[in-house]
Structure 1
Amino acid sequence: MITMQGVVDRVGPTLLRIIADHTEHPQVTDVIIVEAGKRTPVATGDLVLGIAVAGATDAVELVRHCGAHGAAAVLLKPPHATRNAVKTAAQRAKVAIIEVHTGAAWAQLVWLLRSVLDAAADESDASRAEGPFGDLFRLADAAAAVIDAPVTIEDANSRVLAYSARQDRTDPARVSTIMGRRVPDDVLARFRSRGVFRELSRGRTTIFVPAQRDGTLPRLIVPIRMGGELLGSMWAVVPGPVPDDRAAAFADTAPVVALHLLRRRAREDSERRRSAELIRSVLEGTGSARLVAAELDLAPGEHRVVAVDVQAQDPLGAEGVRLALVQRLTEGIGRRPAVTDMHGVLYAVVPDDGGWEQVRSTLATGGALVAAGSPVELADLARSRAEADEALSLLRAGLVDGPVALHEDVWAVLVLHRAAVAAAGVTAIGPLAALRALDEDSDGWYVDTLYEWLRHPGDPRAAAAALNIHPNTLRYRMSRVTGALDADLTEPDVRLALLTQLVALRWQ
């Protein structure tokens, strides 16, 4: 048995989205289709596909009927799933509403849902041992038989997910692709210059690429889509132009591959959510470090918590940036770093021995703000996370030069910042208020001049350089400051108190 939430998780957010969950029967037993003009029998735990729903009235009636017979959920396409009347009916009938992507084909969805139910009913250790790519390799072989040519199945980022047999009949570009499990950059550039990826995004059924001067053999490419989203592509190395009927047969295999890609992505999303929850609990100090280490196979030794400010970048969308950063954090760093997201900030737990430096080099040029806590044992990850947050706050405020800050490297700034926070209530005491009042009635240089003079004792040239003025100008301004300030600047305690107040003003 599998729950309704489990079905949605396995199918994935590309196709299904829970709008309202009022069901009293979360266990799913079957998938049924409501046909136009027929009152289809509904049983407890059914997922009911509202294929015949033509309007809000039909949707409300179907929801009431399904609720009366104990259905788990009603699946509707936009705009019916989000209508207020439908959601109200669902609440009263105690049934869930699931929205189906507008571009998804009902026939494909039925096949996918039933395959999810079958897999849940027949799940075993033996089937798990096959791994996430077992079916894809068989599909690659099947597609190769249809087109009579070696085939690769690639995701939307040109990473190889599976490939067929007979790759010895290909060219160096294909061999490099399989060996590296992704299309090499120079090969990508050649195909991009020929407009291949532009054609993939336009919705073509098949794309033929002739042989190239460097010896690259012709390709027949089929995009893999579901619900209007490009999930990947299949690439066949062919001897030349392919007859239309054979090319069409090759393209007909794409929907089946798309379903497998969606299932794979849903499984990975589920595993990623589980990992994220485990990491989140440890970073908040409520989880078991031993459990996290065992389940996520964290390397032995000290680790750092790395905080990445996702919101500090990219006007194109924080969610897209977040996904891209997760992908970058989970690739090429030996054992995969554990990643989670809290309050718009990405956190990664990486081994201090090598892992941190690789993360640092990976993200330092990406435009994000990156801060790391000190290396700690797994039981102290909450402390490292607090330190990463503190260093990140300095980057955000511009108090340290970015885009990367290591907690132990910015200790001097941290000391002043903490002192400023602790001294927040002392800025109104003493003669400094009079100097601040003069700033409000003048060009505003009194307080800044005193601050830099105190920061560079006995070095007027350094103080003047910090203010970007001539040393003689500094001396003139300090004579005005001394005359306006009712304080003896020859007293060490007076100078220290004033500097404390000035630091608090700047860093609060």
Structure 2
Amino acid sequence: MISLQRLFDAVGPSVLSEVCAPEGAPVPVGDVVIAESDGELELGAGDVVLGVNLIDRMAVLRLLSVCARQSAAALLLKAPVAVDEEVTEAARATGVALVEVAHRAGWAQVVSLLRAALDSEGLAGVAAGREVAEAGDLFEVADAIACIIDGPVTIEDRNSRVLAYSTRQECGDEARVATIMSRHVPDELAAHYRRHGVFRRIVQDKRPIYVPAAVGGSKPRLVMPVHAGGDVLGSIWAIVPGPVPTERAAAFAVAADAAALHLLRRRAEADRERLALTDMVASVLHGKEGAADAARLLGLVAGPWRVVAVGLRCEDAHEAETQRLTVRERLSRFPGSRLRSPAADIGGVVYGIVAAEAVTTTSGRQSDWLYEVGETTGRATPLIAVGGLAASIPELAVSREQADDTLGLLTAGLVAKTQAVHDDVWAEVVLRRTALATSIARTADIGPLPRLMDHDRECRTSHVPTLEAWLEEMGDLKAAAARLHVHPNTLRHRMRRLQEIVELRLDSPKVRSALLLQLTALRYGAEGTPHAKADHRARPPQ
């Protein structure tokens, strides 16, 4: 379990600064809890409490009292109440650590940073059977490199996520602060570097790269790619006043070897824990033997849950990996509560097991959290599919299957959205499954429909869409005409004409059902005959 001091060190002094703390043995941290101003606060021993938007001294003093009674470890506040003398004295008296949050830091960012530090300690110890490497080691390396280059330094992985950073913030700029706050390079700055080929050079070069001042008044950077065995592990970014002398740049390059050892170790440990997590999530989602034990290790104690499947649409491999990591990280947390969501990349799809309350159907407002999952730094928006309700561990396999079906609809463009919940599109799922089954059976090649399709293709007519609209509107000429945006007389003429081209007994329920089944296969099927692959609705009404 991570200690309070180590948690704050991992987040960094640019975000959190200690006002007062009890002396003695290290305090183990429980969880991160947001104080609800209008509700009863239930805390566990060692919890870190965030006094979001608290500005009233009396309210803070009451919260401190609650924290002390329930053995919370620390209370995080922003100025001015964080440095109020009466509040500080009360914190010392109760033994609760008082921490000031930087004014520019958003509370959502603070929650994300704290939980990221907690997560790096949590599941890895259970799943991989060992502790994660000390994060402080890499921070010490960053400080040492900062002394060599005489400027503030950040160490980043190959996806531009910040792993460690040095002191000397007084020599930094706003871009560095934003990078540390969000734990990754800001989108605007990353886009600038990408346009100027900086990331490409990081992959190709093994020497320091000088990057002139960029957008938003940011200062120049000296970037050292970190390679090992031909693989890119990450990069070291130092803020410099201008071009760097050759000797100092050479010393900066030598320092990268020390960082490479740490990055190799971190990647190996991350790979181990990721594989262990993926195995456990896959066991639960596919109902494998040992699923119940895996669910307990994942913290799935009390449902109901839903399975979320996220499909990525990036052709660029680097961008796809960045999206995958971003989505997995956002899926793994439910902001503002103790809820955790096991998430893993299985077969190119990112799956998450989330609390049912994280998702609403179209009958309610879509969850802000679910919307944020789809907001990534890439150009192509991910497709997010949500399975049905699972009240027990075995039902999670069913929810996963439903999420896969829903993702299939989104991928095929059969639902004109980037997000969908199975509860809202189950009818389309039924039609899709039916269509795939009938496509395999080549049902679209049976009867008069293929001849009608050939006629549409050769004569540029629209008899098949006309027939489909008439069937789906159950023979209502006015409704079918409105659907096709034509006059009812035009529709009546087309219906007579298509029955001259092919013989159709439309007074027969069996014929109508068969035709609807064939047309469903054409619309919802992805495989099958050449006819099934043709767009039978491509021609505009004529």
Superposition TM-score tier, normalisation by shorter sequence: 0.5 to 0.7
Aligned-partner Cα distance in 1 for 2:203–2:221:
17
Q: Does 1:487 align with 2:535?
A: no
| Cα distance in 2 for residues equivalent to 1:325 and 1:355 | 21
Q: For 1:325 and 1:465, how far apart are their aligned partners in 2? A: 43
* Alignment equivalent of 1:460, drawn from 469, 472, 477: 477
Give the corresponding residue for 1:327: 325
Q: Is the 8 A contact 2:383 2:410 kept in 1?
A: yes
Question: Is residue 177 from structure 1 mapped to residue 160 from structure 2 by the alignment?
Answer: no
RMSD: 4.2
**Do the aligned residues in 2 keep the contact of 1:144 with 1:236 (CA within 8 Å)?**
yes
Shift of 1:203: 1.8
The two structures have a TM-score, normalised by structure 1, of 0.60
**Which of 376, 384, 387 does residue 373 from structure 1 map onto?**
387
How many residue pairs align between the two structures?
375
Task: Work out the CA distance in 1 between the residues paired with 2:441 and 2:190.
Answer: 62
Equivalent residues of 1:296, 1:338 under 8 A apart = no
Structure 1: distance between partners of 2:177 and 2:418: 39
Q: 2:353 aligns with which of 349, 354, 360?
A: 349
Q: What amino acid maps onto 1:353 in structure 2?
A: E
Secondary structure at the aligned position of 1:433 is classed as: coil
Q: What residue number does 1:43 align with?
A: none
Cα gap change, 1:253 to 1:298, in 2 (>3 Å): farther
Matches within 5 A, 1:185-334: 185=187, 188=190, 197=199, 200-201=202-203, 203=205, 205-208=207-210, 219-238=221-240, 242-297=244-299, 300-310=302-312, 313-316=313-316, 320=318, 323-333=321-331, 334=333
Partner of 2:345: 340
Determine the C-alpha separation between the residues in 2 that align with 1:246 and 1:202: 22
The 1:146/1:449 distance shift into structure 2, 3 A limit, reads closer
Counterparts of 1:258 and 1:246 in 2: how far apart (Å)? 19
- More off after superposition, 178-187 vs 136-145: 178-187
Q: SS of the residue aligned with 2:303? A: coil
TM-score calculated relative to the size of structure 2: 0.57
**Aligned-pair CA distance for 1:422:** 7.6
Residues 384 and 148 of structure 1, relative CA distance in 2, 3 Å threshold: same
- Aligned CA distance change for structure 1 residues 452 and 156 (closer, same or farther; 3 Å): same
Match for residue 139 of structure 2?
A: 137
1:153-174 C-alpha deviation (Å, 9 max, x unpaired): 1223332211234434544443
User: Counterpart of 1:411?
Assistant: 426
Aligned with 1:349: secondary structure? strand
Corresponding position of 2:30: none
Equivalence for 1:474: 491
1:170 & 1:425 partners in 2: Cα distance?
Answer: 62
Deviation at 1:281, TM superposition (A): 1.6
CA contact (8 A) 1:427 1:504 kept: no
List per-residue Cα deviations over 1:371-429 (Å, max 9, x = no partner): 22113135111101111222233344443324433211112323444566787899989
**Structure 1 Cα separation of the partners of residues 489 and 325 of structure 2:** 56
Gaps of 5+ in 2: 1-124, 334-339, 361-366, 526-542
The structure having more radius of gyration, on CA atoms, is 1
- Give, in angstroms, the shift of residue 268 of structure 1: 0.7
Q: Which amino acid aligns with 1:383?
A: V
Give aligned-pair identity as a percent.
45
Q: Aligned equivalents of 1:438 and 1:196: distance in 2?
A: 57
Query: How far apart are the structure 1 equivalents of 2:465 and 2:189?
Result: 57
Q: Cα distance, 1:272 vs. partner?
A: 0.8
User: Once the 2 structures are TM-superposed, how far is the Cα of residue 150 of structure 1 from its aligned partner?
Assistant: 3.5
- TM-superposed CA distance for 1:315, in Å, is 4.2
Report the AA paired with residue 427 of structure 2: A
- Describe the shift of the 1:298–1:243 C-alpha distance in structure 2 as closer, same or farther (beyond 3 A): farther
